[in-house]
């Protein structure tokens, strides 16, 4: 009888230890997954920081070239070319493709377009277009009427 009680107790203890080991394995797996996610996020952050650093270097070079050209009287500065350089840097480095496309379209004959028209014309998803519209609106470049979903250019940057 005592032997059975002892054996039952040992069995219960072994079952309890097995459950604890299973929980521990799950927790270790969860920790490993979280560490992997943290590493991926850190890599993305480093990549973004590197892109920003590269852009800052390119902008510094562009700025110095601009200042050099500005001080030279015999060289004519073509503002269109400078704008094209900014557009390229913005599209490729900062992923401002939607912003540039919206502004370019609104600088055409139609200064007022709907969100849907902009999405179709640019080939960019409506959510990304809406985000870009809000960012442009917050920077005072366009207005957005939420009830009609119309975007209007506030002022022309170039002709």
Tell me the per-residue pLDDT of 80-101, one tens digit each, with 9 for 90 and over. Answer: 666 665 665 565 545 566 777 7
Instruction: State the residue range of the domain holding 136.
Output: 96-159
> Residue 112 has what DSSP assignment?
E
pLDDT one-digit tens code per residue, 97-121: 677 777 777 777 777 888 888 888 8
The pLDDT of residue 60 = 85
Whether the CB-CB separation of 129 and 118 falls below 8 Å is answered with yes
Q: Which two tokens stand for residue 146?
A: 């939420």
Residues 121 and 138 in one domain: yes
- We report the CATH number of the domain holding residue 134 as 1.10.10.10
Number of structural domains in the chain = 2
Residues 108 and 147 in one domain: yes
Residue numbers of the chain with a pLDDT score lower than 50: 74-75, 93
Where a domain ends, among 37, 54, 89?
Answer: 89
Residues 46 and 117 in one domain: no
The pLDDT of residue 95 = 57
Residues 100 and 140 in one domain: yes
């Amino acid at each position: 009888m005592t032997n059975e009680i002892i054996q039952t107790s040992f069995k219960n203890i072994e079952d309890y230890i097995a459950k604890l080991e299973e929980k521990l394995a799950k927790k270790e797996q969860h920790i490993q997954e979280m560490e992997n996610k943290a590493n991926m996020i850190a890599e993305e952050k480093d990549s973004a920081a590197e892109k920003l650093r590269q852009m800052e270097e390119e902008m510094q070079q562009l700025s110095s070239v601009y200042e050099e050209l500005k001080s030279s009287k015999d060289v004519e500065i073509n503002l269109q070319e400078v704008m094209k350089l900014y557009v390229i840097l913005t599209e490729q480095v900062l992923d401002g493709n939607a912003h540039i496309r919206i502004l370019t379209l609104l600088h055409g004959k139609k200064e007022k377009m709907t969100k849907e028209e902009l999405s179709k014309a640019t080939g960019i998803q409506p959510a990304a277009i809406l985000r870009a519209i809000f960012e442009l609106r917050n920077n005072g470049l366009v207005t957005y009427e939420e009830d009609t979903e119309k975007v209007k250019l506030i002022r022309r940057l170039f002709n």
